[in-house]
Structure 1
Amino acid sequence: MKTDEVSLAYRAAEMYYVNEMNQEQIASELGISRSKVSRLLTSARKLGMVKIELVEPDSFDLSALEEELCRKFSIREAHIVASVEGTEKEIKQRIALSFQNNILKIIEGKKSVGLGWGTTVYEAVMSLPNKLGQLPDMKIIPLLGGLGQSEKTYQINNIVEKMANSLGATSVFLSAPAIVNNAEQLNMMKQVGSVQNVVNEWAHLEAVIFGLGAPAGMSAVLDSNLPGEIILELVRKHAVGDIVSRFLNKDGEIICRKIEDVLLGIPFYELLKVPERICLSGGEQKAEGIRAALSRGYITTLFTDIRTAQRLVA
């Protein structure tokens, strides 16, 4: 390759890789054909002028983005994961791995940890290794009853048991549904000794772990036996997500208080008293709900994905 061709290849590579010009722009700038530009770029790579390095997503340094997220919403910690495909399944898997790598540090010294349900929480907890820790003085407590008969991601006692076994902690079970028929049935259920025991534990929680659900129309909770008038109100008021089945609008306000008459779950004001509130939620369809929760201070530690985080700080 002639000397002037080498220089031209270098100039073309610099314009393409450094100045981010496209091949048509380079051709116009250098007064050559587009096919010539393509050949020059190939030559530049063969001569070693260009070195391309691929970095695994797990190796990305996302600390600057995490710090920006913490600063913008005044939260204690953000754990952001990178995904290649950006699919819902992949995002949940990567959040699960990050949760596994950080959970012991976050709950260190805690004696009472509350646990919610949902697809991301389920993925994260079920992915925990069998002997991650040995914390016999810690109790894992359900934040609400179970949902549905067959959907495993909402069977709270199974999730509680798995997390307790992984951490060497003690399980506390709530053998009752999250959604009941009416206020009278709810009050009767709260009189049952085993249920009352869990209700009493809610006042002493030191950390809680929960997901943040999808907007109305996509939420699995709305497919449960919630009364029709409640579902209609949530859709009409444009619920953008939920935390332990308390639905938020885009401003983070709790909407549809009627759900308290049929929901067996930690009161929301009790949840907000817990000093460490850990949310696991990702996917761009969740961004508006996460933003609403962050803006109201409902979350102190967030596990999410890079695309969602970028939307949150934009």
Structure 2
Amino acid sequence: MTTEQPGPGPLSADTPALQPTLAGQAVRVARLYYEQGLTTDAIAGELGLSRPKVSRLLSHARKSGLVEIRIHDPEGQAQGLEAQLRARYPFLHPQVVGVPQGSTEDLWTERVAAAAASLLGRLLRPGMRVGLAWGNTISAVSRSLVPRAVADVTFVQLNGSANDADFVSGFVTDTILRFARNFAAGAQLFPVPTFFDDPATKQAMWRERSVKHVLDLQERADILMYSVGSHTAHTPSHVYTAGYLGARDLHVLSSEGAVGDIATVFFRADGSWQGLSLNARASGPELSLMQRVQESVCVVSGLGKVAALHAALEGRLMRRLIVDEVTAQAVLDLDRTRG
């Protein structure tokens, strides 16, 4: 009676005789898979192996430590920044959006806009009024919306936009109407100048019945969505590039300590806005509105807006913040240097 010798068993790192060959094969397969991006089918064809064997070799490479897989989770970083923002600003509900390392500010804005569009879709309920402050960031949000009809919703423009440039471009009107059409909602435009030449003209206009109707809708808004404006942003805010402000206006703002704006109402580094001369001519609402409305959502992206965002946080000019992780980190760093 003859006794058959056992054939080779399954791949195992515990078989000393196989160890060098097994390790060498595993490393070779791992390089092709992880470094050159070949599929398991392609590796099998190149090395003359079966596909199951290629899979076993890859598994061995991971289990034996020949390959180390590290996951750089942007959400993990984002969650840590959210916790820091909540600790520093207890009134705030932050959402920090992870972005790829080394990516451009244009991509940050795209990711942040998509997050803001998603949040608005979750918050929106029938019968709500939503105040919108136009600008480049909110325009980006409008292009990221997912269509959904919501009954009896009205989108209200928070600040005027009438000047020669916007009459030609339609930038502001298109943004507001894009929100309204997306949700099969109504739109209340605000056809007054962004900045009046004379504060007295503004006061007279504010007594007009049609204007008072819009102001009332703004006051009764359930949700506000806006960004912070800054002339130092990578893509400067629309109000700084479309002819709304002259050189003299910018000089006065700088001399009075203004660092940014919300809905074309300017504020200082401590978040205060009272007494800035241009605000007497501005069409945007008192910034106390952003403090009162429970769902006041500020959407910000870009290192050029760091000082303006920090100032707005100091003034509690938002309840929610959606921001990319790079900008969030820069705001926290700025806060530490000033603290």
Q: Could you state the TM-score of these two structures normalised by the residue count of structure 1?
A: 0.74
Measure, in 2, the Cα distance between the counterparts of 1:159 and 1:269.
24
| Cα distance, 1:301 vs structure 2 | 0.5
SS in 2 for 1:254: coil
Instruction: Check conservation: 2:126, 2:150, Cα contact below 8 A.
Output: no
| Cα distance, 1:193 vs structure 2 | 4.2
The alignment of Structure 1 onto Structure 2 pairs a total of residues equal to 271
SS in 2 for 1:78: strand
Q: Does 1:287 align with 2:288?
A: no
Measure, in 2, the Cα distance between the counterparts of 1:78 and 1:261.
31
| Cα distance, 1:234 vs structure 2 | 1.2
Q: Does 1:104 align with 2:102?
A: no
Cα distance change of structure 1 residues 184 and 247 upon mapping to structure 2, 3 Å threshold: closer
1:1-314 aligned within 5 A: 49-53=66-70, 62-84=78-100, 85-108=102-125, 111-129=128-146, 131=147, 133-146=148-161, 148-150=163-165, 155-215=171-231, 220-223=238-241, 224-226=243-245, 229-254=248-273, 257-314=276-333
2:108 counterpart letter in structure 1: I
Cα distance change of structure 1 residues 71 and 247 upon mapping to structure 2, 3 Å threshold: same
Q: Render the CA deviation track for 1:116-162: whole Å, top value 9, x for unaligned.
A: 01111110112213x2x322222111101115444699843322211
Measure, in 1, the Cα distance between the counterparts of 2:302 and 2:170.
19
Instruction: Check conservation: 2:267, 2:273, Cα contact below 8 A.
Output: yes
| Cα distance, 1:60 vs structure 2 | 5.5
2:316 counterpart letter in structure 1: G
SS in 2 for 1:62: helix
Measure, in 2, the Cα distance between the counterparts of 1:64 and 1:56.
11
Of 302-311 and 218-227, deviating more is 218-227
Cα distance change of structure 1 residues 277 and 121 upon mapping to structure 2, 3 Å threshold: same
Of 213-222 and 163-172, deviating more is 213-222
Cα distance change of structure 1 residues 231 and 263 upon mapping to structure 2, 3 Å threshold: same
Cα distance change of structure 1 residues 60 and 67 upon mapping to structure 2, 3 Å threshold: closer
Q: Render the CA deviation track for 1:50-91: whole Å, top value 9, x for unaligned.
A: 32456685x656323223212221234212112224422111
Measure, in 2, the Cα distance between the counterparts of 1:77 and 1:106.
14
Q: Percent identity?
A: 22
SS in 1 for 2:131: strand
Cα distance change of structure 1 residues 157 and 189 upon mapping to structure 2, 3 Å threshold: farther
Instruction: Check conservation: 1:250, 1:289, Cα contact below 8 A.
Output: yes
1:146 counterpart letter in structure 2: S
Instruction: Check conservation: 1:114, 1:141, Cα contact below 8 A.
Output: yes
Q: CA RMSD in A?
A: 3.2
| Cα distance, 1:303 vs structure 2 | 0.8
Instruction: Check conservation: 2:136, 2:237, Cα contact below 8 A.
Output: no
| Cα distance, 1:163 vs structure 2 | 1.0
1:245 counterpart letter in structure 2: T
Point out where structure 2 has 5 or more consecutive residues left out of the alignment.
Answer: 1-18, 24-60, 334-339
Cα distance change of structure 1 residues 287 and 303 upon mapping to structure 2, 3 Å threshold: same
Point out where structure 1 has 5 or more consecutive residues left out of the alignment.
Answer: 7-43
Instruction: Check conservation: 2:229, 2:261, Cα contact below 8 A.
Output: yes
